[in-house]
A and B are shown apart, each in its own frame.
Chain A
Amino acid sequence: NAGVTQTPKFQVLKTGQSMTLQCAQDMNHEYMSWYRQDPGMGLRLIHYSVGAGITDQGEVPNGYNVSRSTTEDFPLRLLSAAPSQTSVYFCASSSSGGLIGELFFGEGSRLTVL
């Protein structure tokens, strides 16, 4: 199993550009989420999904969109990138969302917005 796979690993954008960060998991997990981590800070929850067709907002959802059309994929879209969105983005998944289990994280996508 590959676990949680994020692409791209690095990306540089100009202000106003759009892009999609991809996240895929091969563990048939129902729960998936996106976090961002700014330098020297902990992770903050952006959006999450408890299953295909269901998404909801986390702590810091502004400027980001998500969709969940399949169990495996949970892309994060930046519609108009801003320098404040420069961060490292982590995708995570779990077999149990509302219940307690273990979150599996990807290796991160490092985004710089100029």
Chain B
Amino acid sequence: DAKTTQPPSMDCAEGRAANLPCNHSTISGNEYVYWYRQIHSQGPQYIIHGLKNNETNEMASLIITEDRKSSTLILPHATLRDTAVYYCIVANNFNKFYFGSGTKLNVKP
């Protein structure tokens, strides 16, 4: 069972930051927060992951609250190509890697 809660959809203007929230109030101490995205019906693509510190890479930033019960994925300058379904997953191994329904991000011109 997915242990995360995400809004079903969000809109974002092209060029603006997209902030995608995720609630994971039952996260365990050794579970990581992962973000993947799925463009059209392609295979999911890894974006970023973190344990408790904020993380940044070339694609996005991940902000995890101090109590680790929620997190936010930030795409700093959204483009039309970022339109996708974004999945937030909490797990400590891939055998329990459950995808929920995700958030459909619509980036609009």
Interface on B for A, CB 8 Å cutoff? 2, 32, 36, 41-46, 49, 87, 91-95, 97-102
Contacts and interface: CB of A to CB of B under 8 A. Distances in A.
Output the residue of B36, B42, B45, B95 with the most chain A CB within 10 A: B95
A4 B92 CA distance: 23
Given A42-B100, A42-B101, A106 B43 contact: yes
Contacts of B43: 4, 90, 92, 105-108
Nearest to A99: B93
Given A41-B101, A42-B100, A100-B49, A90 B94 contact: no
A41 B2 CA distance: 12
B97 A98 contact: no
Contacts of A58: 95
A41 to B, nearest CB: 7
Contacts of B102: 42
Contacts of B101: 40-42
Contacts of A45: 95, 97-98
A97 B99 contact: no
B99 A43 contact: yes
A94 B99 contact: no
B84 to A, nearest CB: 13
A33 to B, nearest CB: 7
Given A42-B102, A108-B41, A103 B46 contact: yes
Contact of B42 (A42, A50, A92, A107): A107
A49 to B, nearest CB: 10
15 contacts: A40-B101, A42-B99, A44-B99, A56-B95, A59-B98, A90-B43, A94-B94, A100-B32, A100-B49, A100-B92, A100-B93, A102-B46, A103-B94, A106-B43, A107-B42
B99 A31 contact: no
Contacts of B97: 33, 45, 103
A45 B94 CA distance: 10
Contacts of A56: 95
